Structure 1
Amino acid sequence: MDGGVLAALADLLLPRECAGCGVPGAVLCRRCAALLAVPHLAQPRRFPAGFPPTVAAGAYEGPVRPAVNAFKERGRAELARPLGAALALAVAGVLAGTSPRPGPVRLVPVPSGAAALRARGRDHVRELTGRAIAELRAAGVPAAETRLLRRTGRAADSAGLSAAQRRANLAGTFALRAGPSELPAGAVLVVVDDVVTSGATLTEAAAVLAPATGREGPPVLAAVVAATPRRAVRRSRERPLGGSADRLSGPGERD
């Protein structure tokens, strides 16, 4: 049966509502979707040492928060399309800040733990990655997925932990997958995830991936759907990416 017919039947049986604000209609209304079209540099409150240049499509607050959680925790898989498009926008943003023009782009999804995979019954980050790749290819970006990371241990619940404690909690939980496929010459690695808060996960992932790029290779970058706002600097220093003034710099140069 045609996918459009199935979607129409689903709407009749289970009327859709916006996952962000609850307004009946699209899975993500235009107003809420617009909140995920403001790519900006993610700025954790305290930059962990080695935090990679990271772009987020929107801020993890307001309607964006329930939309991301609906996809991640409540099984609303239909949100993969708009959230994946947001992730693609973030990837394009982080690539725009590199110089010279990057070569082949390889998205590296942050792997979920075994317990999370069992609880959700799916790998939500890989779903977002697939949608983002489709969007990037349609825009002419030579993107593909490369599963270079694997989990090697189980981190404790990070709720209530400080940034330093989160980093220590995640230390050693990622490793390179055995026998990774050879990367194309000049390939740019972009770690992708749904949300960045303290930056500990992306920092640990980038540290593990760095050897795969080689000393001469481009730095490891990162992109996420949304980032927790940095309240103290948001109004004066956090702005959408644009011209040359928004070229990416290391954490020490931005903070």
Structure 2
Amino acid sequence: MLPRVLEPLVDLVLPRVCAGCGHPGCLMCPRCAALLARPRLATPRRHPDGFPPTVAAAAYAGPVRPVVNAFKEHGRTELAAPLGAALALAVVVVRAGAGSAGPVLLVPLPSSRAAVRERGRDHVAELTRAAVRELRRAGVPVTAARLLGRRGRVRDSAGLDARQRRANLAGTFVLREPVRRGSGLLVVVDDVVSSGASVTEAAAVLIPAARRHDTPVVAAVVAATPRGRPVPVVGPGPGVFTVRER
């Protein structure tokens, strides 16, 4: 990270603009940042069988969409901080909904090798690390583990409906490590939920392993594609997380 004394010089050459609305002078303006702190239940239109309870910090719409895409597809790695804070908020809310006050284990959804090569990075792993930092600052006992791996190749999901996406992903995820006793609440984490196929497939692999220790499996994401009126959830209370420019 550049020393703060150099940041004004960088801004002269590459002026900062809000990744959501293009407002000059900031990484994210307050209005767009506020949109990343509106937790809701993710409700795919065709709810897949086995879709776990999933909380999104925001709707994948409006300014949130370009913010996520700027981080994911256009190398705006500095957005990991506000997006990680949003993911942490979703984790806190889904943890409360599960009635858990114990430790939390974040399980990032693994990206394909092709996607990692194309982007030059694993963006979900970056979000997970940022969320862990935020959660620990808030006093939440949290760790992260790459329990899931991928096998085989899947076709591009663009243009596929929910049923086709689920069939396309069937058997993609495998358990790389056992779920250990005392791991705490297992939270699958990802950037966006749309059809719910990926999260459902991941949960299908984790649930049998977690059941041996009576460990629930839920999910948390930065944003979810909106389906009608959002389903409200009980938040963690004011002042726990603030999505802000770093």
* Corresponding residue of 1:249: none
Determine which of 208, 216, 231 is the counterpart of 1:211: 208
* Corresponding residue of 2:138: 139
Shift, 1:17, TM fit: 0.3
Shift, 1:184, TM fit: 4.5
Change (3 A) 1:8 1:106: farther
Change (3 A) 1:215 1:71: same
* Corresponding residue of 2:81: 81
CA–CA distance in structure 1, aligned partners of residues 3 and 209 of structure 2: 40
C-alpha RMSD of the superposition = 1.6
Change (3 A) 1:185 1:122: same
* Corresponding residue of 2:71: 71
* Corresponding residue of 2:162: 163
* Corresponding residue of 2:243: none
Asked if the contact 1:110–1:125 (Cα under 8 Å) also holds between the matched residues in 2, the reply is yes
CA–CA distance in structure 2, aligned partners of residues 48 and 198 of structure 1: 8
Shift, 1:6, TM fit: 4.1
Query: Residues 8-157 of structure 1: matches in 2 within 5 Å?
Result: 8-99=8-99, 101-157=100-156
Asked if the contact 2:154–2:169 (Cα under 8 Å) also holds between the matched residues in 1, the reply is yes
Asked if the contact 2:149–2:174 (Cα under 8 Å) also holds between the matched residues in 1, the reply is yes
Deviates more, 1:40-49 or 1:213-222: 213-222
Q: SS at the partner of 1:12?
A: helix
CA–CA distance in structure 1, aligned partners of residues 183 and 150 of structure 2: 26
CA–CA distance in structure 2, aligned partners of residues 62 and 188 of structure 1: 32
Counterpart check, 1:202 vs 2:199: yes
Matched residues, percent identical? 67
Deviation readout 1:157-214 (Å, 9 max, x if unpaired):
111111111000000111011xx26635151110000000000000000111112213
CA–CA distance in structure 2, aligned partners of residues 5 and 121 of structure 1: 28
Asked if the contact 1:51–1:202 (Cα under 8 Å) also holds between the matched residues in 2, the reply is yes
Gaps of 5+ in 2: 236-246
CA–CA distance in structure 2, aligned partners of residues 187 and 48 of structure 1: 25
Asked if the contact 2:173–2:205 (Cα under 8 Å) also holds between the matched residues in 1, the reply is yes
Counterpart check, 1:226 vs 2:223: yes
- For residue 147 of structure 1, what is the amino acid of its counterpart? R
Q: SS at the partner of 2:107?
A: strand
Q: SS at the partner of 2:220?
A: strand
Asked if the contact 1:104–1:184 (Cα under 8 Å) also holds between the matched residues in 2, the reply is no
Deviates more, 1:195-204 or 1:18-27: 18-27
CA–CA distance in structure 1, aligned partners of residues 7 and 104 of structure 2: 32
CA–CA distance in structure 2, aligned partners of residues 200 and 156 of structure 1: 14
* Corresponding residue of 1:242: 234
Determine which of 192, 198, 221 is the counterpart of 2:189: 192
Gaps of 5+ in 1: 244-255
TM-score, with length taken from structure 1: 0.88
- For residue 139 of structure 2, what is the amino acid of its counterpart? G
TM-score, with length taken from structure 2: 0.91
Asked if the contact 2:178–2:209 (Cα under 8 Å) also holds between the matched residues in 1, the reply is no
Q: SS at the partner of 2:36?
A: coil
Change (3 A) 1:182 1:164: closer
CA–CA distance in structure 2, aligned partners of residues 137 and 156 of structure 1: 37
Asked if the contact 1:153–1:174 (Cα under 8 Å) also holds between the matched residues in 2, the reply is no
Deviation readout 1:90-110 (Å, 9 max, x if unpaired):
0011001012x3421110001
Deviation readout 1:206-240 (Å, 9 max, x if unpaired):
11111221344222100000000002xx1xxx243
CA–CA distance in structure 2, aligned partners of residues 9 and 37 of structure 1: 31
